[in-house]
Structure 1
């Protein structure tokens, strides 16, 4: 049974290198810079460039959303914004939800930050929300992210052919999912 109050509560989750805190208006400047970074836009397949006011309103609206969980990823112990993640498209009847994560700059890749943040959120999703399955989409060229997801128990479930057209080239998107028991087997 899904515990929807676990989405409304907006927890703070703490690991060794990261702290996940509710995304809010205070993160607007960092989120704006990240959302408009060319490499982040490529990795997420985001064609549009966002205006500052649009990002501010979006960040300000996150705490009030009872149907999803948006968290800022802060480095420990400095408290520096290093990205954001979300548990969204929650399907209570099927105990399933989508997941997305974006680190705010390439300087944060390869340090285990994304892996730790993903594991913290998945633990919360399975233990507190009561989900059975979490899924995501990742572009096939993003090998580093695919490796992180696999290490957290995700498996490729399908391929969306030519899902992204970026600078004249088409790229597939992989649909990956993790079941609670797979996450536990992967050390979660």
Structure 2
């Protein structure tokens, strides 16, 4: 397991399906991550059929170290040894844990693993320009804004920009 100051990262289990389905019902999560209603049966099926974690697709559950409660999902995907890069994504499904440093801790832990164990050179991500909280988290960890993709996604009847950010191995903040 990967452990930080506030979080532990572990493999997703089929038993996490009900928690994931509950998170997808949260308007904050569903509007950013899913975009459409998802049934418990669909989530259970996805969890059962989910491929094992690999170098190219590492998807982990974020747990609170203090309570052991699942609070979100974090992933490094698209990693290839030849390029040395992977894409980061994260969401905190449990609203109680948003804004308490858990996301920052989980991002730092997974990036440290990516750099130290996977020997990645860099991690990149896309974040909604309007998501100031997430952008703040990424900046605290050391991510640098590289550019903007104009009107990249449609949400709530409007088009929104995406911000491209990246972090090189030597830039990870402690």
TM bucket (normalised to shorter chain) is over 0.9
Instruction: Give the alignment's TM-score, normalised by structure 2.
Output: 0.92
Counterpart for residue 160 of structure 1: 149
Matched, 1:52 2:19: no
Contact preservation (8 Å) 1:62, 1:70:
no
Q: How many residues align?
A: 173
Contact preservation (8 Å) 1:140, 1:172:
yes
Instruction: With a CA cutoff of 8 Å and minimum separation of 6, indicate the structure with the bigger relative contact order.
Output: 1
- State how far apart, in whole Å, the 2-side matches of 1:144 and 1:48 are: 23
Matched, 1:146 2:144: no
| 1:137-167 Cα distance to aligned partner (Å, 9 max, x none) | 1101110110110111111112111112112
Q: 2:83 aligns with which of 94, 97, 100?
A: 94
Contact preservation (8 Å) 1:40, 1:105:
no
Return the offset for 1:77.
2.2
Moved over 4 A (4+): none
For structure 2, the 5+ residue unaligned runs are none
- State how far apart, in whole Å, the 2-side matches of 1:62 and 1:90 are: 18
For structure 1, the 5+ residue unaligned runs are 1-11
- State how far apart, in whole Å, the 1-side matches of 2:170 and 2:119 are: 13
Q: 1:20 aligns with which of 5, 9, 13?
A: 9
Return the offset for 1:63.
5.6
Counterpart for residue 61 of structure 2: 72
- Match of 2:148, SS state, is strand
What RMSD in Å do the two structures reach over aligned CA positions?
1.5
Matched, 1:116 2:105: yes
Instruction: Give the alignment's TM-score, normalised by structure 1.
Output: 0.86
Contact preservation (8 Å) 1:34, 1:104:
yes
